[in-house]
């Protein structure tokens, strides 16, 4: 399948051809409407999660994504055809979530015919090749927007009439998830579907917030263990991403007091000295060739078996010197959840699960399997199956 990985080591003649191509496209588009714009579309000004006012054709008929995991959003907005209008996306599902890719491929085989692009964050994205796809709009994660600005991608697309719209499930999931879903609903003409999901999401969040507020229980010291096996021990988030969710769900995130950046490595010694009451790890079905070697990570996703996930969580804990003596392990409060909640509108499930694990007496009625099964029935085009969480007995 074609890839927009045009390479950082182009030979000079290829680089000159790219410059000529871009110049020609810019000249052609300078006085015209966006290349992919539907003449019947209405131009509308939307405000993205960064507060940028962006004029876009609504509904957009040709959408370019900077991440394939945007499918998590289009799936809940359009059960009939979550691929509708997508003209290009990177191969991050192939690399990081092949379980989900297989599920969607079964029902929507056209996913393999969508042009694969390079990645903005690593410099492999080509604005010249993107322009050839004639997108109406480029939708990008807030985590990658600065890289797109610095590399000139936003400017190059804008000069041919392709606006860039920023959504966010990664940097500030609690503040931006609903806004991002509503923004995607407006872009795709799926406002009613976006409103329905936003209401469902907010109800789940309010339920957790109100119970914790009424109970006045102290926060539970927690270590959030980011993708063991994919990263060296022990990666975590601090005051962002899933760390926000730990705090919202009634925990004190250990890395918040250790890391000076939003993500990084917490030493095993720091974890042992702080002896958290709860450990929450993340796991996924990482593709062969990823940093996560077989047998080194917690397999979670649509195709994963519960016994395998539980056994691997135990193995990972036991491999770390001293971890078996941590309070969280001895008290049977060590868990794992699907890693991709970290960049997904489904993060409300992590909120509910974390709350149950951190304050089990307050959330006895929360059944993780039931909470994930219901939104699959209500919103998603693929059935629920597999294993998305586990725990040590």
In this prediction, residues 274-293 reach a mean pLDDT of 91
The pLDDT of residue 295 is 79
Domain ranges of the chain: 12-189, 217-391
User: Is the confidence at residue 17, as pLDDT, over 50?
Assistant: no
Compute the 3-state secondary structure of the chain and give helix, strand, coil in percent, each to the nearest 5: 45, 15, 40
**388 or 17: whose pLDDT is higher?**
388
Whether residue 4 has pLDDT greater than 80 = no
Average the pLDDT over each of 10-19, 89-98, 367-376 and give the range with the smallest value.
10-19
Lowest mean pLDDT among 4-18, 57-71, 320-334, 336-350: 4-18
**What spatial distance separates the first Cα and last Cα of the chain, rounded to whole Å?**
44
Question: What is the rounded average pLDDT for all residues in the chain?
Answer: 91
Over residues 123-176, the pLDDT tens digits come to 999 999 999 999 999 999 999 999 999 999 999 999 999 999 999 999 999 999
8 A C-beta contact, residue 168 and residue 49 = yes
In DSSP terms, 243 is beta-bridged to none
How far is the C-alpha of 115 from the C-alpha of 130, rounded, in Å?
10
Pair 99, 72: CB distance under 8 Å: no
Tell me, yes or no, if the two domains 12-189 and 217-391 fold the same way. yes
Question: Residue 40 — pLDDT band, cuts 50, 70, 90?
Answer: low
Whole-number pLDDT of residue 288: 80
In this structure, of 145-149, 294-298, 388-392, the range with the lowest mean pLDDT score is 294-298
Give the model confidence (pLDDT) of 190-235 as tens digits.
Answer: 999 999 999 999 999 999 999 999 999 999 999 999 999 999 999 9
pLDDT (tens digit per residue) in 325-380: 999 999 999 999 999 999 999 999 999 999 999 999 999 999 999 999 999 999 99
Q: What CATH number should be reported for the domain whose range is 12-189?
A: 3.40.50.1980
pLDDT at position 179 is: 98
CATH level 3 topology of 217-391: Rossmann fold (3.40.50)
Q: Look at residue 289 in the predicted model and tell me its pLDDT.
A: 74
* Secondary structure E strands in the chain: 42-47, 53-58, 63-65, 86-89, 115-116, 137-141, 164-167, 220-225, 235-237, 251-253, 263-265, 278-283, 334-338, 389-391
């Amino acid at each position: 399948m074609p890839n927009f990985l045009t390479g950082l080591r182009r030979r000079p003649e290829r680089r000159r051809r790219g410059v000529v191509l871009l110049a020609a496209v810019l000249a052609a588009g300078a006085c015209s409407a966006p290349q992919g714009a539907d003449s019947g579309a209405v131009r509308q000004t939307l405000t993205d999660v960064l507060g940028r006012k962006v004029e876009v054709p609504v509904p957009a008929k040709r959408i370019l994504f900077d991440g394939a995991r945007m499918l998590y959003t289009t799936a809940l907005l359009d059960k009939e055809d979550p691929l509708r209008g997508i003209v290009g996306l990177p191969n991050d599902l192939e690399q990081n979530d092949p379980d989900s890719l297989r599920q969607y491929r079964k029902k929507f085989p056209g996913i393999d015919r969508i042009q694969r692009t390079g990645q903005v964050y690593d410099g492999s994205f080509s604005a010249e090749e993107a322009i050839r796809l004639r997108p109406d709009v480029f939708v990008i994660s807030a985590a990658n927007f600065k890289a797109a600005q610095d590399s000139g991608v936003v400017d190059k697309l804008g000069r041919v009439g392709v606006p860039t719209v920023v959504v966010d499930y990664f940097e500030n999931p609690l503040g931006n998830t609903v806004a991002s879903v509503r923004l995607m609903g407006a872009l795709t003409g799926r406002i009613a579907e976006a409103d329905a999901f936003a209401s469902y999401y907010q109800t789940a969040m309010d339920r957790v917030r109100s119970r914790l507020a009424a109970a006045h229980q102290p926060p539970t010291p927690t270590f959030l263990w980011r993708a063991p096996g994919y990263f060296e021990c022990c990666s975590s988030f601090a005051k962002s991403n899933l760390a926000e969710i730990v705090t919202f769900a009634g925990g004190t995130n250990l890395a918040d007091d250790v890391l000076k950046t939003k993500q990084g490595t917490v030493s095993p010694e720091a974890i042992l000295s702080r002896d958290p009451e709860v450990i929450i790890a993340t796991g996924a079905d990482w593709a062969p060739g990823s940093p996560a070697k077989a047998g080194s990570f917690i397999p979670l996703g649509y195709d994963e078996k519960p016994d395998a996930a539980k056994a691997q969580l135990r193995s990972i804990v036991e491999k770390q010197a001293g971890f078996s003596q941590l309070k969280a392990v001895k008290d049977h409060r060590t868990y794992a959840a699907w890693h991709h909640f970290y960049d997904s509108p489904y993060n409300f499930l992590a909120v509910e699960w974390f709350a149950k694990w951190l304050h089990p007496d307050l959330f006895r009625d929360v059944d993780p399997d039931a909470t994930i099964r219901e939104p699959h029935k209500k919103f998603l085009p693929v059935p629920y199956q597999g294993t998305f969480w586990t725990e040590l007995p």
